[in-house]
Amino acid sequence: MTVLVEFRAEARVEIDEAFAWYEQQSAGLGADFLRAVEAAVESISRRPDSWPLVRENVRRRLLRRFPYSLIYRVDPGRVVVVACFHARRDPARWRARVG
């Protein structure tokens, strides 16, 4: 059974910004980044409770190949991605989004 995965606007902006940065570095690298995001979302949808807790009811799914994580909250019947976060950024930025 798969669970609906939704994105907060801030997470979408972060994905778009990372895509643009990678694409600027090398043509096609942005598309590779988006494929890594899609693969992570697919695995979260199938097994949302499989990834490590980083706060109460908030989990982190690392992306393959890229130094980013999807930070998400598991709600009844859905998952909400609150951030697509670079590993070197201050985690206080995404923590403020989950309360």
**Kind of pairing between the strands at 4-7 and 78-86:** parallel
Instruction: Look at residue 1 in the predicted model and tell me its pLDDT.
Output: 76
Distance, CA of 93 to CA of 87 (rounded, Å): 12
Q: Is the four-CA dihedral 47, 49, 51, 54 of positive or negative sign?
A: positive
Taking CA 57 as the corner, what is the angle to CA 90 and CA 65, rounded to the nearest 5 degrees? Answer: 50
Query: Domain containing 18 — which CATH number?
Result: 3.30.2310.20
pTM for the full model?
0.91
- Domain boundaries, position 39: 4-98
Residues of the chain with pLDDT under 50: none
Q: What is d(CA 45, CA 79) in angstroms, rounded to the nearest whole number?
A: 8
What confidence score (pLDDT) does residue 99 get? Answer: 61
pLDDT at 88: 87
Number of domains in the chain: 1
